[in-house]
A and B are shown apart, each in its own frame.
Chain A
């Protein structure tokens, strides 16, 4: 695979993920159209995510499509109104010099809205494309077809059109749960980078594990993202509120080809350490962080559902928790399945395999008492002193003990065990019960006492 493709792919990840300023620089170099509006960048993945999730969850749904389209229509309408009002205002104040900030802000707003409309349009259309629908995870990472959307010139400042960049970021965002692993796994596929053609950076352990990488020079507060720091800075004075201060610090390096950066793990002896004989470099800071935590740190995060699986990267835990407990389809051979049809396919394939019935499940869903319950019920009936509510005779009995088990039968004046002879005349039977009811005495207790 052409490494440029993947390269572009990574660059398309949400800039939020990147904490190292150098990486930020790098990304900014190939995302020039987005530079101007960090706000828009942060804004659009959310509705997009929803849209894509929807298209991922179910097959193409014309109703959803209609929904999307009317949403888009609304949005366009809204935008037109906005532009209209800008034009109107400009006419009114023509002649006067408009404040630079206002113009920029308007521009930003319109651009952001436009891009988000474009993205939504693409994703709506994308719902129809089989490759987007069926194999989003593999496609986004490896498919050359997606490469069509990507800038062919990975280093070119003007290479990525906003749309294609966004499309990529969309794809990646749908696969968030895989992304960390993909990055490392992607590394395994082997880059054909010759030693020396790239710059090796090695962060120290403390740096890797530091929760924040951006610190406020005034108050010292730490942030994970530079963007957040810049937002924070606004509170420290008006000079930090200018669009220039709020924009990403733009390094002038986009013109000259930068040396490719690769990273080394600080852990000596690790294959990812630069001193290792078969050194395999890590591609990004995020790779370093995840690699270091996964390989050289304690697994501090335990799944709260199964209480067995442990993770050192919290994203891994979250990925696991999404699936944990869903493998409830169990075969008699011990194999579990997350889907019922997979289990049934398995059972159809192998002779003698049957689905296992979970113990607690049955009780809840079908209301079937377990043996303990039913014996309890039997006892309860046995215990029930039929015609004397105030006194309760405690009859002990269990399912193993026939006498106890049949205590309700005793009530009916028939001794189960003693039926070797011809049963009593029904007359005797009913006479006694008549007598008992008339007198109100509990003659049944005597009867059950007989055996």
Chain B
């Protein structure tokens, strides 16, 4: 931010101009600085803010008061959303409140994210759906307890256009019918894993919601009948059929003749399909942009290939797991000029020659997935680097023959590269990382199992790739404390770090990790040199830490856990399995960390049954998922188990 202090006129700007300035600020931290500048700016912030994602329910009433123009509310990261909370929110600050000072927060709300809100039930949902007249988008995915009653409640939101009900396991055709009849304007609907849905429900949906543009019925036990119904949707653009075991080529024949606007179809892992089924789809939809057929073909047949070559606009094609004749690449390269993404992971027949031919034509490729294409070498990578200058994402996991030569080419030509997966590429060494570090846009780097990488290589990356968000150093045994020193001073934006099994890392290294203020996801399994001191420095430094995996860190003592309970107030997931945590420390961690939603607590040798009981009682109001040893099942009190169950908590007995 430029210094405004010198310019006294900034406050004389009219409100709308200030709003425009505010809207230019994209990053959340910049906006924070803006609203902290002065009261006027704070007022602008509260007037303009449209989206809110909160982490603690306690603040919600105040925030709803503060932001009257809210359009989108995300409660997915916030535990303890319950019917009672909803009724309170609506009565205190909502339409039923008498206070005229504050606007009615529900009036303008368009989008509501309630993913994993397992505490919510139909009555709360119904209150929300009725209170928000403009509601257009609702996400209740992964609310496993949701069923027909919740669907009925949602159907009161008559203006609904987008609805995500993934993994609402109780949803049946009846609930779907409620939504289909209630929300006639529905354009986007996702029903992944709603296992009770049958052809009847899908048929009714297609008859009622004729405006559907996006429909995902992945993993459902629907048959060709459903495809027959879906084919009647004239506006459908995106169709997700992943892992529908009961559909076959006959069903795709319906799709060939229907859905005139279809742009993207995902039939990956549909075991009943063959090439001829896909040929129907491709033949009927010359304007297809995206075709995902991973793990459903045994071979890319010539007949299918000749159909695919007619797709002049095709941008994304994934045929993972198939056998690909080398000549296919030539055909694709010569015809599908607009390809942006190609996925051939685990394909048999991907060779250097094939890839060279492919990239000679498809120069616009941005995403290339070559996972487990074992036979490719630096020659292929060089060809890719030379042709596809716009490459953004390259996945080379298990491509053992890649060496620094290939990375040198990437570092020279693919300067836009943001993501590269080099997991298990044992040819990658420090020199290779030095070349790669020239890709200054790199934000995600995966080096798992690259044992030839040392602190030196990491320091190259750290000093040049300032934008790294995610770094995977799983079992990079060459990495030690010095590498982490370099990392923490260079990659300040690091959010996700995996240090599991990096045996050399000690408390000193964790001290450096503590300097990464943005870090929110840290996995450090089996670091047997670290103690409570190291954990304390991480907990004290990484304030945003939300996900921590300490499995098998057996030397960490209670001191570290106490510090964790004391500092890491934002922690959402924790894995403490095989740790030497005591009763007291466990209770403290579980009771104090008020945002904790998921905990894995198996094989805690120092914790007694009473300790578990206490710890669970301390967190039972907010925990959503807990993993425990099966033997505890009969030792814990029935009361706590019932309470956890009643609050929607899932217990995984190991």
A residues apposed to B, CB below 8 Å: 340-341, 344, 347-348, 352-355, 357, 362, 365-369, 371, 373-378, 380-381, 384, 386-387, 399, 402, 405-406, 408-409, 411-412, 414, 416-417, 419-420, 423, 426, 430, 433-434, 437
Contacts and interface: CB of A to CB of B under 8 A. Distances in A.
A386 B174 CA distance: 41
B591 A419 contact: no
Contact of B80 (A341, A375, A409, A437): A409
Given A402-B84, A408-B621, 15 more contacts: A340-B173, A341-B200, A347-B204, A348-B204, A352-B181, A357-B175, A374-B82, A377-B646, A386-B617, A405-B84, A406-B85, A412-B621, A416-B61, A423-B59, A434-B566
A426 B145 CA distance: 33
Contact of A380 (B56, B177, B207, B646): B646
A399 B148 contact: no
A368 B177 contact: no
B214 to A, nearest CB: 22
Given A355-B174, A380-B643, A384-B639, A405 B88 contact: yes
Contacts of A366: 145, 147-149, 169-170
Contact of A384 (B155, B175, B643): B643
Contact of B614 (A357, A368, A387): A387
20 contacts: A344-B204, A347-B204, A354-B155, A354-B182, A355-B178, A368-B170, A369-B121, A371-B123, A374-B83, A374-B646, A380-B643, A384-B643, A399-B83, A405-B85, A412-B594, A416-B61, A419-B61, A423-B58, A433-B592, A434-B562
A230 to B, nearest CB: 55
Contacts of B82: 374, 378
A351 to B, nearest CB: 8
Contacts of B639: 380, 384
A416 B58 contact: yes
Interface of B (DSSP majority class):
helix
B117 to A, nearest CB: 13
Interface of B: 56-59, 61-62, 80, 82-85, 87-88, 91-92, 121-123, 145-150, 152, 155, 169-170, 173-175, 177-178, 181-182, 200-201, 203-204, 207-208, 562, 565-566, 569, 584, 587-588, 591-592, 594, 614, 617-618, 620-622, 639, 642-643, 646-647
A384 B617 contact: yes
Contact of A368 (B91, B122, B182, B200): B122
Contacts of A365: 147, 170
B84 A357 contact: no
Of B82, B150, B175, most A-chain CB atoms within 10 Å: B82
Nearest to B63: A419
A368 B204 contact: no
Contacts of B646: 369, 373-374, 376-377, 380-381
A344 B200 contact: yes
Contacts of B173: 340, 344, 355
Contacts of B204: 344, 347-348
B276 to A, nearest CB: 27
A42 to B, nearest CB: 44
A406 B88 contact: yes
Contact of B588 (A354, A387, A416, A437): A437
Contacts of B592: 430, 433-434
Nearest to A363: B149
Contacts of A367: 145, 170
A354 B177 contact: yes
Nearest to B178: A354
Nearest to A408: B621
Given A341-B200, A344-B203, A380-B643, A371 B121 contact: yes
A414 B59 CA distance: 10
B169 to A, nearest CB: 8
